[in-house]
Amino acid sequence: MEQISYDYSDNSHVVWFTELSEPGQPYSCSTWDNASNYHDQLITTGNFVFWNLFTTDNYVPADVWIDHTMTVYKQSIGTSYFQGTYYLDQMLENCGSLCEDNLDLDDDGVENDYDNCPNDSNPDQADSDEDSLGDACDDCHNLAGDPNDDLVHDILDVVLIVNAVLAGGYSATDQYTDCELADSDLDSNGVINITDIIQTINIVLSVGRDDTDQVGRATADFSVAGSDLIINIDSKIDFSGLQLVFESDLDNSIRIKDNSHIEKLSSYNDGIVRFVGFSKFNNAFDSRKSEVVIEGGASLNVEDIELIISSRSGKEIELSRSAFGNVYKTGAYDFNLTKVYPNPFNPTTEIDFTVPSDGYVRLSAYNVMGQEVSVIFDGFQTIGEHSYRWDASALPSGVYYVRLSSGKNVKTMKALLVK
């Protein structure tokens, strides 16, 4: 058998393996390992579990020949060189074209090593999405903005992307394939939202926007009227889409006052309300303003409401958010006391904070009695991140509270001075 294995070692259609559970044999593992110079694949099961594997009923054959259909072709206790080579040649002949080294399996004139669909005839090697997988066998054409994969941008794609947004974007794997979701994310930023809808509408309309690089800014002020939550949006540039996402115990109805040309669609699943408003012809909201009414939303926490405003070019507009006239977040910056480090400290520590708008800021420290014991900073501060060092060398060890205030916004953080 060793010589047969050697003679057929270059044939990729012949595989050898050795099973180490032959009953009645006292061979140790080392004996088996030294039995041959060739390293066939080993199956080590033991306990005679293969006694009747090949339907011999009374012995385990030393040599078993299995053909391409995984059927036992021959079996014997001992096999001569000529018998073995004859069995192999017969099995290879019966295997036919499956065991031939065919350089062009699909007969399209392109060898397998260079064929972008080796099992599907495609002489033209068309690869619309240039992903090295030919169109003939590619189940995802990877054309951004074309979730229905027909290689055409049209209204059907817009509808699919809108539905994907309302279903939760990339989390909607139970409703959409990975291909559909990836193609819905037109700007490939890992999020499927209103900006993808607007960008796809522009492609369908074959409209170019000259404000692609324009940095847009808008304000959104939240207020309450009766049981409703009101959002007043005022933008510095044209915008043609908006999106809301928030958790609620109710399927809140959402209205947009005026702006009758705006399409309004919403969904309510698993306690989450999703809403999009946009123009299917990508026309801007009237006067760059909008009043959005969330019916029954007066008790919602405005800081938990996701609000996205899209420009006509499909770019997210930087949003300054305020509640009852008090700005609490602008873009990535909210009003927050982010870090006191080190903590515990002796006698100095760094205090980091962010503010969402330009204005007066006071950063100070209080003892456990509520007395202000140190003013760290007091004055005008610009929007963004800031850091100040607090030197508490004149104060005794103990617990202190760092307080950041600006208008109605107040944040505190505990600090421990240990001397």
Do 284 and 383 fall into the same domain? no
Range of the domain at 86: 1-101
Instruction: Determine which of 139-143, 164-168, 255-259, 298-302 has the lowest per-residue pLDDT on average.
Output: 139-143
Average pLDDT over residues 30-42: 51
Do 7 and 70 fall into the same domain? yes
pLDDT tens for 279-301 read 999 999 999 999 999 999 999 99
pLDDT tens for 93-121 read 898 877 777 678 788 888 888 899 988 99
Do 310 and 381 fall into the same domain? no
Domain boundary among 308, 329, 350: 329
Q: By the 8 A CB rule, do 3 and 81 touch? A: yes
Q: Which amino acid is at 4?
A: I
pLDDT tens for 327-363 read 888 888 899 999 999 999 999 999 999 999 899 999 9
pLDDT at 33 over 70: no
Q: What is the DSSP string of 2-32?
A: HHHHHHTTT-TT---EEES--TT----HHHH
Average pLDDT over residues 245-251: 95
pLDDT tens for 63-85 read 888 888 888 888 877 788 888 88
Domain membership of residue 396 (yes or no) is yes
Q: Whole-angstrom Cα distance, residue 57 to residue 54?
A: 8
Looking only at the bridges linking them, the beta strands covering 17-19 and 41-43 are parallel
pLDDT at 196 over 60: yes
Domain boundary among 101, 135, 160: 101
Do 378 and 348 fall into the same domain? yes
Mean pLDDT of all residues belonging to the chain: 86
Domain membership of residue 291 (yes or no) is yes
- Pick the more confident residue, 204 or 34: 204
Domain membership of residue 47 (yes or no) is yes
Q: Which amino acid is at 326?
A: N
**Residue 302, burial from CB neighbour count under 10 angstroms (0-12, 13-18, 19+):** buried
- 370: domain CATH number is 2.60.40.1930
**Helix H or strand E segment including 63:** strand 63-66
Closest C-alpha among 104, 241, 91 to residue 161: 241
Domain membership of residue 153 (yes or no) is no
- 264: domain CATH number is 2.60.40.680
**Residue 400, burial from CB neighbour count under 10 angstroms (0-12, 13-18, 19+):** buried
Average pLDDT over residues 210-232: 84
pLDDT at 156 over 90: yes
pLDDT of residue 170: 94
Instruction: Determine which of 48-52, 159-163, 182-186, 383-387 has the lowest per-residue pLDDT on average.
Output: 48-52
Do 221 and 320 fall into the same domain? yes
pLDDT of residue 38: 46
Domain count, the chain: 3
Do 266 and 305 fall into the same domain? yes
Do 317 and 348 fall into the same domain? no
Domain membership of residue 60 (yes or no) is yes
Do 324 and 358 fall into the same domain? no
Domain boundary among 273, 295, 329: 329
Do 10 and 55 fall into the same domain? yes
Domain membership of residue 356 (yes or no) is yes
